[in-house]
Structure 1
Amino acid sequence: MLKINPLSTLYVGIDVSSKSNYVCALDFYKNKYINSSFANNQPGAEELAKKILECLKEHPDLNTIVAALESTSVYSIHIANFLSSCEELMHFKPYVFVLNPKCTANYKKSYIGLGKSDPIDAFVIADYARAGNIETEPWRGSQFLALKRLTRHRLHLVECMTREKTYLVSNLYLKFSELQMLEGDDQPFCDIYGATSSSVLTEYLSPEEIIDSSEEDLISFLAQKSRNRIKDISKTAELLRKAARDSYRLDKALYEPLNVSIASSFNCIETFKKEIKLIDIAIEREIRGLNPNAFIILQSIDGIGPVFAGGIVAEIGDISAFHSSDALAKYAGLMWKSNQSGDFDGEDTPMSKAGNRYLRYYLGEAANSMRKHNVEYGAYYRKKYNEVPKHQHKRALALTSRKFVRLVYGLLARNQLYSGVSLDTSNE
């Protein structure tokens, strides 16, 4: 909670859009001092700062600025940076807050019959700040912004690759219906999106060509494409033939268009993989220019490398911004809504997810990696996995991520390396 004198504070609410910022400035008694629009560019920001200064000079009883705006993709970054670092405003100790839009939207519901417009939205944001509802820390500036752009772009590439793989599945099923349905020991390839699988699926026009190919030719093909990395190549060839025999047959006119689509998807996936590797290198390079303590601490945890550590620190920033692991978990959206009334206690308690999805992603990926390398976290994951009959992995990983948050907070708050000793004091 921000400790200021509310009676001497000017509350500035900013409704941000790509072209303009509508501003409403209030004092504690809801007197409006600014209620106008400014261009969302450098001249517009300078005009806003000048207007705020004029207001403060006219009302000497106001000596502190609290500016609040909603997080609106990249459009809120420039104005937040400008107001938090504007030299002309430094004397008045400006606090700038970038809010979760859900918070202000829910607050707006307390006004019955309030319409929708830029002036109204700016007023609601200013009034939200005036009411003392802000619990987040002030805008930290651009210290971690460069790293954050890289880590968020990495997630963007991962999501693009996942969408491409999902799209590819439909074409794979049409061409080679049985191959993608096989699991475990019946699946000829450990990675259906790998180099050997993609060669088979693009260079053989149809399953019939695999069936008609001699055993020697098929084994030679698999050996060449896998660079002799397949342990039992005869068994792989046999499984591939069986999958080809069990697959549906298509009209021959369909195979060529399907091959073109499948090859294109594999090329896209390969490109995304290469770009992700380049981003990983850039993340490691960017990390070296920042305070290394947090990165060193996180990388001391089993299974956590520079990319996951970078993603977590870029979104958290300074751990002192959070008073507890619960606050950090809430910021990441790793919390569960209660479903209770009277004597009724609902078993279905969905995760809120009303938080920083980027931090939630990197915490989840890091927890998933750690449970594969750490005995304690592996056992905890398996315990939670076996507690329910459905959504087992999703639930177990979410709970493991929540446990991981307590470890991250404990290590960073204590400024200590991970020694294998659990810092989790919960009873879960």
Structure 2
Amino acid sequence: MLKINYMSTLFVGIDVSSKSNAVYAMDFEENKYISSSFGNNQPGADELADMIAKCMQKHKNLDTIIVALESTSVYSVHIANFLSTCETLMPYKPYVFCVNPKATSNYRKSYIGMEKTDPIDAFLIADFARVGRTKKLEPWRGGQFIALKRLTRHRMHLSECITREKTYMVSNLYLKFSELQLLEGDNKPFSNIYGATSSAILTEFLSPQEIIDLSEEELLSFLAEKSRNRISDISRTSELLRKAARDSYRLDQCMYEPLNISLASSFNCIQAYQKEIKLIEQAIEKCINGMNPNAFLILKSIPGIGPVWASGMLSEIGDITAFHSSDALAKYAGLYWLKNDSGDFISEDNQVSKVGNPYLRYYLGEAANSVRKHVPEYTEYYAKKYAEVTKHQHKRALALTSRKLVRLVFGLLVKNQLYTGEKLDTQSNINKN
């Protein structure tokens, strides 16, 4: 926790919008020093910095600046980054905090009948900082972390694009090759219906009938070529594929070509996204080098966690000392379950909150899904939670495994030690004084 003398601090609240920034500055005794509006551009930021500096020079009793502003999409990035690195303000040790709008919205409720205007919002944000609500927040971390965060978040965006495209394809896949879409387990000719071999089957043959009409030798040769000889039992794959083709519905001939064009377009989109993800992952590894190397090495020491998952978690967590316990970190990620009790009734089916950082929750989930395949303790835990219910098994089990991983991540980062397989005491709070 930052050690700041609040009695000698200037509290600056900024209500950010795309075109302007409403600013209110006061001291701990609520004396007003600034109440104005500045353009949300470089000239406006320079003018604000000069006004704050003049205020500090005039009032010798002030020696520290705390700037609080709501995290408003990308509109708050430039002003936060500028004020945290502005040479004019460096003598006064500026601390810049981006606040969750929900936090300030809840704080507003303590003022009965308060109106909502930009100047009043700026006052409210300044007062939010004055009463110490920023103590548990992490100060703005500068350009390197912004760059890493933009890369890791963009990777998540591309992954979601792939998932969305695959979901969209389902109806076209069923229309074109109905049985192939429905097969499960050992009856599936391909482990990945969106893979290269499956893609070739679905786009290079106009209809399932063409697969049936192909000779065994020609089909085997086609599968070997498209899979690059990676299919272990190519004869069985050929047999399963023919059976799926025979059992599939037939369509009017005029429907096949439009379906083929749509499917080919979707496969091209997926391949393009996958190519871009590889480039982004290379950029992530390059960006993380030299940034908080200890924390990066610690997370990579956990079996199943590579540079991408580690970078994704670190870019959102930042400094672990910002969290007093693993519960606080889990709550920040939105990995906690809302109680729904009333009287003697205790609910056993509580939903995960998801009110938190969705990017951190995504990377924790991806990391947990990988860790469970490499660490026996997590394998057993996932299997146990999977077997406890009859619906949403994977989703529930993975969320609980992610919550378990939070305790491990928190414990390792707090103790600054590599993963050894030993259990950690992560229940005790950090002494941050």
TM-score (norm 1): 0.93
Please tell me the residue identity of whatever aligns with 1:262: L
Matches within 5 A, 1:218-237: 218-237=219-238
Matches within 5 A, 1:99-118: 99-118=99-118
CA spacing shift, 1:179–1:111, aligned 2, 3 Å:
farther
| SS, match of residue 178 in structure 1 | helix
When structure 1 is superposed on structure 2, of 399-408 and 350-359 the one drifting more is 350-359
- The alpha carbon displacement at 1:15 in A equals 1.5
Please tell me the residue identity of whatever aligns with 2:184: E
Specify the alignment match of 1:344 in structure 2. 345
Q: Distance in 2 between matches of 1:141 and 1:185?
A: 51
When structure 1 is superposed on structure 2, of 317-326 and 296-305 the one drifting more is 317-326
- 1:38 lines up with 2:38 in the alignment: yes
Q: Distance in 2 between matches of 1:393 and 1:424?
A: 27
Q: Distance in 1 between matches of 2:27 and 2:323?
A: 28
When structure 1 is superposed on structure 2, of 331-340 and 265-274 the one drifting more is 331-340
Q: Distance in 1 between matches of 2:272 and 2:352?
A: 34
- Conserved in 1, the CA contact under 8 Å of 2:13 and 2:23? yes
Specify the alignment match of 1:10 in structure 2. 10
- The alpha carbon displacement at 1:350 in A equals 2.1
Q: Distance in 2 between matches of 1:195 and 1:89?
A: 57
Q: Distance in 1 between matches of 2:355 and 2:56?
A: 36
When structure 1 is superposed on structure 2, of 163-172 and 233-242 the one drifting more is 233-242
Matches within 5 A, 1:330-409: 330-409=331-410
Specify the alignment match of 2:304 in structure 1. 303
Specify the alignment match of 2:212 in structure 1. 211
- Conserved in 2, the CA contact under 8 Å of 1:407 and 1:424? no
Matches within 5 A, 1:148-159: 148-159=149-160
Please tell me the residue identity of whatever aligns with 1:294: A
Specify the alignment match of 2:330 in structure 1. 329
| SS, match of residue 311 in structure 1 | helix
Identity %: 73
Q: Distance in 2 between matches of 1:100 and 1:64?
A: 23
- The alpha carbon displacement at 1:7 in A equals 4.0
Specify the alignment match of 1:199 in structure 2. 200
- Conserved in 1, the CA contact under 8 Å of 2:80 and 2:96? yes
- The alpha carbon displacement at 1:86 in A equals 1.9
Matches within 5 A, 1:258-297: 258-297=259-298
Specify the alignment match of 2:133 in structure 1. 133
CA spacing shift, 1:292–1:130, aligned 2, 3 Å:
closer
Please tell me the residue identity of whatever aligns with 1:179: L
- Conserved in 1, the CA contact under 8 Å of 2:410 and 2:426? no
CA spacing shift, 1:348–1:33, aligned 2, 3 Å:
farther
- Conserved in 1, the CA contact under 8 Å of 2:323 and 2:329? yes
CA displacement 1:400-427 (0-9 Å, x = unmatched): 111111111211222211111122567x
- Conserved in 2, the CA contact under 8 Å of 1:95 and 1:138? yes
Please tell me the residue identity of whatever aligns with 1:169: V
When structure 1 is superposed on structure 2, of 322-331 and 389-398 the one drifting more is 322-331
Specify the alignment match of 1:80 in structure 2. 80
Please tell me the residue identity of whatever aligns with 1:204: F
- Conserved in 1, the CA contact under 8 Å of 2:138 and 2:319? no
| SS, match of residue 144 in structure 1 | helix
CA RMSD, Structure 1 to Structure 2 (Å)? 2.1
Specify the alignment match of 1:120 in structure 2. 120
**Structure 1 residue runs of 4+, over 6 Å off?**
none
- Conserved in 2, the CA contact under 8 Å of 1:403 and 1:424? no
Specify the alignment match of 2:416 in structure 1. 415
| SS, match of residue 373 in structure 2 | helix
Please tell me the residue identity of whatever aligns with 2:131: A
Q: Which runs of 5+ in 2 are unaligned?
A: 428-433
